[in-house]
């Protein structure tokens, strides 16, 4: 047991760094929190789509929603539309809603399959935020029906880092600007001091590495090995470019369009659209990928496309000696399901929990932290791979390989259980609820081979009637909601 972590130093001022500074200061107000960032290096500046858990973070650190929306040009996000993923010309939605019961006699998807009535429409018609998305409508769920659906945001990542920075500085976090050129170690292998280019030094007891892809402390200094996921997730580059709004409505969802060797994102903000093409250089060269992105834009490009390079995977351990890595410094899955900020949050929550007692955590607690984060990455990896491996596309080598590859054991087992028994198997440390898994299976037409006889406990006519009623109630409720843009304007007072 060492001395208490009185001085906490955060390396990096991107989303991860400022989220960490805000959360640590909120949870441990007596600690001295210092963040070091380099204006010359800047931040990655992408990462504009989120998951509903970001609202928990905002609640924990006391961020006001309207102030946040105004400061970051944010829009609401109900989920994502997947175009050309299940097959060319097809689309499906993964939204943050529920599908009522997912097991037992009243299981909604089970009764839907059993009734098998085309007049019922798609399974998505039974899910409130999917119908809202299809109609471009938005309203926050009423408090008494908060479990009906959830929502997240799209925002400008650079503005978000700035917004969090203002919040953190007001609360007493100290900011040091400068490029770190050397890291000195303690006798036990941990980090002792950071040396800046102008000769200043920064000392601390605990160092949180939020230095982005550089992974300055955990990767470069401590040389923690990399766990490579590129066998399952071969994408390794992204072109990113903002475009002018096309004049069309601001969609309350992210669009992801599958292309020849990857996929393109479209993220609507209030003042522009964020676009990107995530691709694998095993299957396409950078120039062709850039051209494919520019062909996707629905308004003029506002800048030259920017190329980002990455490898999917994570560091073997996330907390080593007195260094904890969060954000891109700890690992990166690809952005298909906007999971990076959620991963930062998961790590932060666990880390803060271990810091609260005021003494450095014992070795078994750190080992549990590392196991927990390894599991979170693996669960999310499985969910992202699911989108690829279920496709009916065979029109290019990427898609042929994605459907023929060996899957991670955990995913192969889940797929087997689903096909054989209709159970949406969950492990510990999940990133996504069964309803999310169901949305991807349904969107790809991947249904169990047999229906559970328990579904027969409900008379067929009763089941049909209940599904019709639910669909019609949802349609009527959504038709009464405002368009997303009007709702945004209403709360922003613009
Ligand atoms: C193509 C792409 C798309 C993405 N899309 C999404 C998405 O839709 N949703 C989502 O949740 N996430 C997304 N992400 C991930 C998201 O961008 C990051 O998780 C998030 O921005 C956090 O980044 P970061 O803070 O870890 O790193 P960065 O933003 O890169 O910050 C690193 C910081 O470290 C500092 N630094 C580095 N080296 C030094 C040094 N030597 N001295 C001093 N300071 C230093 C830098 O100045 C900077 O302040 C995406 C990522 C990529 C690559």
CA-angle at 165, arms to 162 and 170, nearest 5°: 135
Q: How confident is the model at residue 248 (pLDDT cuts 50, 70, 90)?
A: confident
Final residue of a domain: which of 309, 335, 351?
309
323 and 348 in a common domain:
yes
Is residue 242 situated within a structural domain? yes
275 and 408 in a common domain:
no
Mutate to test the pocket of ligand 1, among 196, 324, 325, 340 (most ligand atoms within 8 A of CB): 340
From ligand 1's centre to the CA of 346, what distance in Å?
A: 16
Model confidence at 215: pLDDT above 50: yes
Task: State the Cα–Cα distance between residues 193 and 388, nearest whole angstrom.
Answer: 44
**What are the tens digits of pLDDT across the range 395-442?**
999 999 999 999 999 999 999 999 999 999 999 999 999 999 999 999
138 and 27 in a common domain:
no
From ligand 1's centre to the CA of 161, what distance in Å?
A: 10
Task: State the Cα–Cα distance between residues 330 and 492, nearest whole angstrom.
Answer: 36
Is residue 276 situated within a structural domain? yes
Note the pLDDT of residue 2.
54
319 and 299 in a common domain:
no
Model confidence at 1: pLDDT above 50: no
Q: How confident is the model at residue 228 (pLDDT cuts 50, 70, 90)?
A: very high
402 and 278 in a common domain:
no
Q: What is the CATH number of the domain that holds 12?
A: 3.50.50.60
Question: CA–CA distance from 74 to each of 65, 67, 71, 273, 303 (Å)?
Answer: 10, 10, 8, 11, 20
Instruction: Let me know if 425 is exposed, middle or buried by CB neighbors in 10 A (0-12, 13-18, 19+).
Output: middle
Q: Show the tokens assigned to 177.
A: 């600007």
18 and 167 in a common domain:
yes
Cβ 340 under 6 angstroms from ligand 1: yes
- Written in H, E and C, the secondary structure of 235-246 is CCEEEEEEECCC
Cβ neighbours of residue 41 under 8 Å, at least 6 residues apart? 179, 214
**What are the tens digits of pLDDT across the range 14-36?**
999 999 999 999 999 999 999 99
Kindly state the average pLDDT of the residues 239-261: 95
Is residue 105 situated within a structural domain? yes
Cβ 343 under 6 angstroms from ligand 1: no
From ligand 1's centre to the CA of 157, what distance in Å?
A: 9
Cβ 308 under 6 angstroms from ligand 1: yes
Is residue 145 situated within a structural domain? yes
Note the pLDDT of residue 78.
98
127 and 171 in a common domain:
no
Give the number of the atom of ligand 1 that is nearest the alpha carbon of residue 326.
26
Nearest CA to 491 out of 140, 77, 152, 151 is that of: 140
Cβ 16 under 6 angstroms from ligand 1: yes
Cβ 180 under 6 angstroms from ligand 1: yes
Measure the N-to-C terminal CA separation of the chain; round to a whole number of Å. Answer: 55
Give the number of the atom of ligand 1 that is nearest the alpha carbon of residue 51.
11
Nearest CA to 125 out of 441, 442, 440, 475 is that of: 475
161 and 18 in a common domain:
yes
Average pLDDT of the chain, as a whole number: 96
475 and 400 in a common domain:
yes
Final residue of a domain: which of 245, 276, 309?
309
416 and 459 in a common domain:
yes
Is residue 466 situated within a structural domain? yes
Is residue 488 situated within a structural domain? no
In which domain, by residue range, is 437 found?
A: 99-149+383-479
Kindly state the average pLDDT of the residues 468-477: 97
Domain count, the chain: 3
Is residue 87 situated within a structural domain? no
Task: State the Cα–Cα distance between residues 21 and 422, nearest whole angstrom.
Answer: 43
388 and 260 in a common domain:
no
Kindly state the average pLDDT of the residues 148-177: 96
Mutate to test the pocket of ligand 1, among 152, 328, 329, 337 (most ligand atoms within 8 A of CB): 328
464 and 387 in a common domain:
yes
Final residue of a domain: which of 293, 309, 325?
309
Task: Name residue 237's beta-bridge partners.
Answer: 279, 309
CB 90 within 8 A of CB 139: no
Is residue 352 situated within a structural domain? yes
Mutate to test the pocket of ligand 1, among 175, 327, 377 (most ligand atoms within 8 A of CB): 327
Which protein residue's CA is at the shortest distance from atom 49 of ligand 1?
Answer: 13
- Label the pairing between strands 206-209 and 7-11: parallel
Kindly state the average pLDDT of the residues 164-177: 96
**What are the tens digits of pLDDT across the range 123-147?**
999 999 999 999 999 999 988 888 8
């Amino acid at each position: 047991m060492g001395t208490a972590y009185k001085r906490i130093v955060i390396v990096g001022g991107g989303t991860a760094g400022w989220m960490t500074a805000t959360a640590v200061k909120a949870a441990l107000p007596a600690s001295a929190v210092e963040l070091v960032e380099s204006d010359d290096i800047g931040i990655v500046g992408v990462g504009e789509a989120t998951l509903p858990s970001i609202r928990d973070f905002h609640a924990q650190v006391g961020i006001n929603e309207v102030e946040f929306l105004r400061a970051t040009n944010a829009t609401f996000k109900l989920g994502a539309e997947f175009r050309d993923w299940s097959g060319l010309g097809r689309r499906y939605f993964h939204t943050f809603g529920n599908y009522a019961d997912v097991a037992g006699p009243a299981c909604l998807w089970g009764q839907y399959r059993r009734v098998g009535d085309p007049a019922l429409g798609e399974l998505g018609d039974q899910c409130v935020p999917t119908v809202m998305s299809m109609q471009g409508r938005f309203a926050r769920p009423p408090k008494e029906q908060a479990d009906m659906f959830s929502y997240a945001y799209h925002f400008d990542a650079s503005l978000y880092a700035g917004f969090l920075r203002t919040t953190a500085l007001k609360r007493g976090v100290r900011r040091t600007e400068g490029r770190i050129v050397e890291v000195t170690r303690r006798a036990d292998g941990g980090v002792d001091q950071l040396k800046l280019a102008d000769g200043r030094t920064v000392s601390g007891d605990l160092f949180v590495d939020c230095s982005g892809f550089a992974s300055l402390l955990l990767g470069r200094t401590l040389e923690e090995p990399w766990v490579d996921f590129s066998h399952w997730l071969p994408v390794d580059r992204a072109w990113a470019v903002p475009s002018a709004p096309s004049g069309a409505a601001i969609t309350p969802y992210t669009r992801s369009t599958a292309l020849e060797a990857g996929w393109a994102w479209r993220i609507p903000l209030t003042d522009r659209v964020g676009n990107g093409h995530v691709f694998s250089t095993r299957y396409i060269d950078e120039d062709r990928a850039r051209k494919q992105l520019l062909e996707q834009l629905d308004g003029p490009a506002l800048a030259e496309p920017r190329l980002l390079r990455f490898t999917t995977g994570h560091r073997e351990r996330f907390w080593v000696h007195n260094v904890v890595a969060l954000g891109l410094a700890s690992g990166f899955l690809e952005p298909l399901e906007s999971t990076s900020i959620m991963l930062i949050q998961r790590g932060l929550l666990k880390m803060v929990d271990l810091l609260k007692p005021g003494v450095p955590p014992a070795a078994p607690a750190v080992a549990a932290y590392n196991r927990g984060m390894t599991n979170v990455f693996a669960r999310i990896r499985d969910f992202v791979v699911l989108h690829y491996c279920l496709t009916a596309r065979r029109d290019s080598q990427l898609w042929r390989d994605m459907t023929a590859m060996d899957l991670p054991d955990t995913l192969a087992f889940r797929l087997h259980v689903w096909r054989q028994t209709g159970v949406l198997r969950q492990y510990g440390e999940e990133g996504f609820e069964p309803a999310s898994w169901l949305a991807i299976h349904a969107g790809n037409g991947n249904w169990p081979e047999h229906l559970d006889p328990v579904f027969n406990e409900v008379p067929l006519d009763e089941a049909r009637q209940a599904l019709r009623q639910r669909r019609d109630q949802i349609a009527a409720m959504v038709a009464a909601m405002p368009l997303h843009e009007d709702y945004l304007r209403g709360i922003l007072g613009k």
